[in-house]
Structure 1
Amino acid sequence: MPESALGNWLKGLREDRDWSLRETAQRADVDHAYVYRLETGAKESPSGEVIDKLIKALTPSARDAEILRLLAGQPNIDPALAGFARINPTVSFQEFHMLTTVVNRGARPDYATSLARIRKFMLE
């Protein structure tokens, strides 16, 4: 199955609650198979209504909810970038959004260096 940033983020939020796919789907009033397809990357770009239901059920922080909404609308974001932000909660939504626009011309992405540059730019 293809990996997606949205799927990884959603799965992380679900696992933070220690919920099964079925429990998450039931609490969100969304089909569990659809939640599975979102998590695995088989489906991308869910409707705003589905995202709203998932956010209401999972009750993530404001930052995590904003990032989930962004990922739902931009399916081409690198899953590794989402993983970087998941393990580094100091990355704000604004910084994450800026990181999604950084172009790594042929080089392997170095999100920590890019984040440091963004933070430096924001201070100036």
Structure 2
Amino acid sequence: MPTSALGVWLKALRGDLSLRELAQRSEVDHAYIYRLETGAKESPSGEVVNKLVNALAPAEREQAILRFLASHPNIDPDLAEFAWSDRRISFPEFHMLTTVVNRGARPDYATSLARIRRIMAEEDDG
């Protein structure tokens, strides 16, 4: 199970591709990809991220989040899972969710997202 947000996102993007298939497509060592997925390695270089993006060819939103997570290793893996499960969450909304400070035992991303959307709608209206 991935222990980093980047790992969650990368594994989800990989889908049915094996680590070796992604390694061949991206020219990134399969063991390194595995370490990224498990959280043993964080913050890959821009070159590695570019190779993975080119090999996976994700949609713009998924690509933006992958690049963001690659340079922000302290993001909660649960937030990455939450964003993956709801494709309607835009990158700007995701980015804002990463900045929300949750005081309590467990973050409530759905409530925070609703607040963010309300604020963004108010800014658009005003």
Q: TM-score if structure 2 supplies the norm length?
A: 0.94
Query: 3-state DSSP class of the match of 2:100?
Result: coil
Unaligned runs of 5+ in 2: none
Q: How far off is 1:108 after superposition?
A: 1.6
Contact 1:99 1:115 (8 Å CA) reproduced: yes
- In structure 2, the residue matched to 1:12 is 12
Match of 2:79 in 1: 81
Following superposition of structure 1 onto structure 2, how do residues 93-112 of structure 1 map, counting pairs within 5 Å?
93-112=91-110
Q: Are the aligned partners of 1:8 and 1:39 in contact in 2 as well (CA < 8 Å)?
A: yes
C-alpha offsets along residues 16-43 of structure 1, whole Å, 9 cap, x if unaligned? xx11000001100000000000000000
Cα offset for 1:88? 0.2
Report 1:1-124 matches (<5 A).
3-15=3-15, 18-124=16-122
Deviations 1:83-103 (A, max 9, x none): 000000000000000000000
TM-score (normalised: structure 1) = 0.96
RMSD: 1.1
**Count of residue pairs the alignment pairs up:** 122
Identity %, equivalent residues: 72
Structure 1: runs of 5 or more not aligned: none
Q: Work out whether residues 2 and 42 of structure 1, in 8 Å CA contact, stay in contact via their aligned partners in 2.
A: no
